[in-house]
C-alpha cells in the first residue's frame, strides 16, 4: 500500500557526475525529501557510457525503492544512435514527476578571442581542426553535430566519460568549447578562467549573467533545453509512484529549493507523470527531425 512506502533506504541513480546539474539538483531535493519520508536517500552518480551505465544499473535493479533522476536529453537520442537497445524507454523508464528545464551553456576559455557564437564560428573557420569541443551525451551532442554541419566548421569533438572534467580542461585551455549544463561552469566563471557565449532556452539565466540566448544570436540549433525528471521502475506499484511523485513535487515547490535550482541553471517547471510523458514525446519527435537532418544512423 502507498501509505506504507517507503519501507527502507531510497536510492536515486544519476547519469551525471558529482557537481553536475543533475547530481546537484538531486541532492537539493533529497535533503528535504528524506525528512518527509523518514528514510535515508542515497544519491548514486553513475556517469559514463552515454548515460547507459546509469540507465542499465537502474533497469537491472528493478526495485521499487530505486529511482532514476535524469535529464530527458540524455536518453531520447539513443534510438538514433544504437541499433540494439539494452532497455525500452516506454517499458523501463516510468515517469514519476517533472522538475525543471535545464539551461545549457556554450562556454569557452576566457582567453579565447570570441565573445559571441558568431565570433566563435569565425575563429573556428580561421583555425580549422585546431578547435576542440566537448559536450554532454544525448540531445546536446546531436545539437552540436547539427550546428557544426550547418556552419561547416572543422571542430573535432573530444569524448568524456564525465563532462564535468571537460569544464576543468576548458578552464586550462585544453579545449576551446564545451556545450553542457551551466552548473559545471560555475567554478570557472567565478575564477575568471572561462566565459559563456550563449545559453539555451527562451530567456537569459541568472547562472550566466550577461549571456544572450543562442536563439537571439541567430543559432536556434543550440537553443533546446532539456527536462529534468524522476523515473521509477516498472516493478513499483502505481499508487506508490503517485505518492512518491506527489511528495517529490511538494518538496520541490519550497521557495528555497526553487531559488537554489535557479542558481545552477534550472528553471523550475513542475509537472506530474502525465505531463512529463507528454513532454518526452514532443522531444522524441524533435530529436527524430534533428537526426534526419544530420543523417544520424544507429550503430
Predicted confidence at residue 8, as pLDDT, reads 96
| Cα–Cα distance, 271 to 229 (Å, whole number) | 9
User: Of 172, 171, 142, 168, whose CA–CA distance to 157 is shortest?
Assistant: 142
- The SS3 of residue 106 is strand
Predicted confidence at residue 272, as pLDDT, reads 97
**Check: CATH 3.40.190.10 for 104-222?**
yes
Predicted confidence at residue 226, as pLDDT, reads 81
Which CATH superfamily, name and number, covers 2-102+225-294? Bordetella uptake gene, domain 1 (3.40.190.150)
Predicted confidence at residue 78, as pLDDT, reads 94
Predicted confidence at residue 73, as pLDDT, reads 87
Q: Is there a shared CATH topology between the 2-102+225-294 domain and the 104-222 domain?
A: yes
Predicted confidence at residue 157, as pLDDT, reads 94
Predicted confidence at residue 1, as pLDDT, reads 56
Predicted confidence at residue 20, as pLDDT, reads 85
Asked if 131 and 137 count as a contact pair (C-beta separation under 8 A), the reply is: no
Count of helix runs (H) and strand runs (E) in the chain:
10, 10
Predicted confidence at residue 4, as pLDDT, reads 87
Extents of the domains making up the chain: 2-102+225-294, 104-222
Stretches where the chain sits below pLDDT 70 are 1-2
Query: Residues near 223 by Cβ (< 8 Å), separated by ≥ 6?
Result: 200, 201, 202, 213, 214, 215
pTM of the model: 0.85
Amino acid at each position: 500500500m502507498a501509505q506504507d512506502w517507503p519501507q527502507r533506504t531510497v536510492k536515486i541513480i544519476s547519469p551525471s557526475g558529482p557537481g553536475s546539474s543533475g547530481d546537484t539538483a538531486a541532492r537539493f531535493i533529497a535533503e528535504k525529501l528524506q525528512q518527509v519520508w523518514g528514510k535515508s536517500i542515497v544519491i548514486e552518480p553513475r556517469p559514463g557510457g552515454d548515460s547507459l551505465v546509469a540507465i542499465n544499473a537502474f533497469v537491472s535493479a528493478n526495485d521499487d525503492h530505486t529511482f532514476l533522476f535524469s535529464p530527458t536529453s540524455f536518453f531520447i537520442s539513443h534510438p538514433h544512435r544504437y541499433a540494439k537497445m539494452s532497455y525500452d524507454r516506454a517499458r523501463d523508464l516510468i515517469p514519476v514527476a517533472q522538475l525543471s528545464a535545464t539551461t545549457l551553456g556554450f562556454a569557452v576559455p576566457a582567453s579565447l578571442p570570441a565573445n559571441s557564437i558568431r565570433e566563435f564560428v569565425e575563429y573556428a573557420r580561421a583555425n580549422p581542426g585546431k578547435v576542440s569541443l566537448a559536450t554532454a551525451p544525448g540531445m546536446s551532442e546531436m545539437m552540436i553535430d547539427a550546428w557544426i554541419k550547418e556552419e561547416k566548421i572543422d571542430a573535432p569533438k573530444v569524448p568524456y566519460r564525465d563532462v564535468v572534467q571537460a569544464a576543468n580542461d576548458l578552464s586550462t585551455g585544453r579545449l576551446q568549447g564545451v556545450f553542457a549544463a551551466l552548473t559545471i561552469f560555475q567554478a570557472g566563471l567565478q575564477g575568471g578562467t572561462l566565459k559563456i557565449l550563449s545559453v539555451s532556452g527562451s530567456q537569459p539565466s541568472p547562472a550566466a549573467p550577461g549571456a544572450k540566448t543562442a536563439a537571439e544570436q541567430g543559432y536556434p540549433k543550440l537553443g533546446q533545453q532539456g527536462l529534468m525528471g524522476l523515473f521509477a521502475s516498472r516493478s513499483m506499484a502505481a499508487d506508490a509512484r503517485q505518492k512518491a511523485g506527489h511528495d517529490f513535487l511538494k518538496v520541490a515547490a519550497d521557495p528555497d529549493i526553487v531559488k537554489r535550482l535557479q542558481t545552477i541553471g534550472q528553471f523550475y517547471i513542475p509537472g506530474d507523470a502525465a505531463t512529463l510523458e507528454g513532454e518526452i514525446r514532443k522531444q522524441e519527435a524533435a530529436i527524430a527531425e534533428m537526426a534526419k537532418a544530420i543523417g544520424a544512423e544507429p550503430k
